[in-house]
């Protein structure tokens, strides 16, 4: 799928970009080129140390911002596949710096689309978030806008052989700023701050997130928002899995935070199909494909009327024991809760 292809990853120095690079090199050793595009010079330097040029000649490092369309176009020359992972992701950061969030998450998305069209890139997959579903904070609203831009881009491609799709998933285990490393650090103080004892979230590993992107690259017709079938967890179970002897301090829900996350609303379900390990929300406007085209292509079926996919009403749950196993596998092999 990616052998003999050139791939560009925006935000390529983040948690996802590093895992994506690692898995491409392991599973597609004949990949022609991997371009790590980000504005963080220090992180690029750190990654270079792990992938020396003499052993990994296919890696390229571009300093650049998705806000800069000219630089993106330069980086996209000769690229076959773009993975758009760059974003301002912290909810409180976005609330305090709304214009900066819009410039990166919305204007940046449009710049990626225009660069892809101008450079005849074949396949573009954008990373979304569960917070883009029925958003109540600016971060979610900008990512919903980004999702709409990417799915609608299929209608302006003209005769170009190009596909834009989106992947949407929940909290990533062990990623920067996520709750598991936060709790693992806080347990040294003997107290874990919990925003609400009833809170739930979807749970996915970085590797599973990369697999979803691989699936989208291979299978997208164009315009789908792919969503994985993954378990939920209760925040108290995460706390008990990591530090069962710590005191719990209920600090209250932060501004812009939900009690439960959604990935498919009841209204979205009218345009949602189900297959294998994934759902796909189909584009509300598509000139290239009908709903029947998508169903046939994915060997899928429509979800039941009134269906919704919510972390609080999910039928698949991580337990304290399964969370501990996953932490050892995906976050820290030496993890102990004693």
| Structure-token match 């949602």, residue found | 272
Cα separation, 262 vs 279, whole angstroms? 13
131 is catalytic: yes
Long-range Cβ contacts of 264-269 (<8 Å, 24+ apart): 264/133, 264/227, 264/303, 264/307, 264/308, 264/309, 265/133, 265/134, 265/308, 266/306, 266/307, 266/308, 268/133, 268/308, 269/303, 269/304, 269/305, 269/306, 269/307, 269/308
Tokens representing 255? 């501004």
Active-site option among 5, 18, 89, 131: 131
Which residues does 277 contact at the CB level (< 8 Å), separation at least 6?
Answer: 228, 229
Could you give the residue numbers annotated as active site? 131
């Amino acid at each position: 799928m990616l052998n003999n292809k050139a791939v560009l990853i925006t935000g390529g120095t983040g948690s996802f970009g590093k895992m994506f690079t690692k898995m491409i090199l392991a599973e597609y050793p004949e990949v022609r080129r991997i371009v790590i595009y980000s504005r963080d010079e220090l992180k690029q330097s750190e990654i270079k140390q792990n992938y020396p040029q003499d052993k990994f000649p296919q890696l390229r490092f571009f300093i650049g911002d998705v806000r800069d369309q000219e630089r993106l176009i330069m980086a996209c020359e000769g690229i076959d596949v773009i993975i758009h992972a760059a974003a301002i992701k912290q909810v409180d950061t976005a609330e305090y710096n709304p214009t900066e969030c819009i410039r990166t998450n919305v204007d940046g998305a449009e710049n990626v689309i225009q660069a892809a069209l101008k450079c005849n890139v074949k396949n573009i997959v954008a990373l979304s978030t569960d917070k883009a579903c029925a958003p109540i904070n600016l971060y979610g609203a900008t990512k919903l806008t980004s999702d709409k831009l990417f799915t609608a881009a299929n209608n302006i491609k003209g005769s170009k052989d190009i596909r834009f799709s989106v992947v949407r998933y929940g909290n990533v285990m062990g990623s920067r700023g996520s709750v598991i490393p936060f709790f693992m650090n806080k347990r040294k103080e003997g107290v874990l701050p919990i925003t609400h004892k009833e809170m739930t979230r979807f749970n996915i590993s970085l590797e599973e997130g990369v697999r979803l992107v691989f699936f989208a690259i291979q299978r997208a017709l164009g315009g789908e928002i792919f969503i994985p079938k993954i378990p939920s967890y209760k925040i108290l179970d995460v706390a008990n899995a990591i530090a069962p002897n710590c005191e719990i301090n209920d600090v209250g829900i932060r501004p812009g935070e939900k009690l439960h996350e959604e990935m498919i609303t009841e209204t979205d379900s009218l345009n949602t199909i189900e297959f294998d390990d994934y759902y796909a929300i189909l584009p509300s406007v598509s000139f290239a494909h009908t709903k029947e085209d998508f169903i046939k292509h994915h060997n899928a079926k429509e979800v039941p009327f009134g269906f919704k996919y919510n972390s609080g009403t999910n039928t698949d749950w991580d337990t304290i024991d399964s969370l501990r196993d996953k932490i050892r596998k995906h976050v820290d092999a030496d993890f102990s809760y004693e």
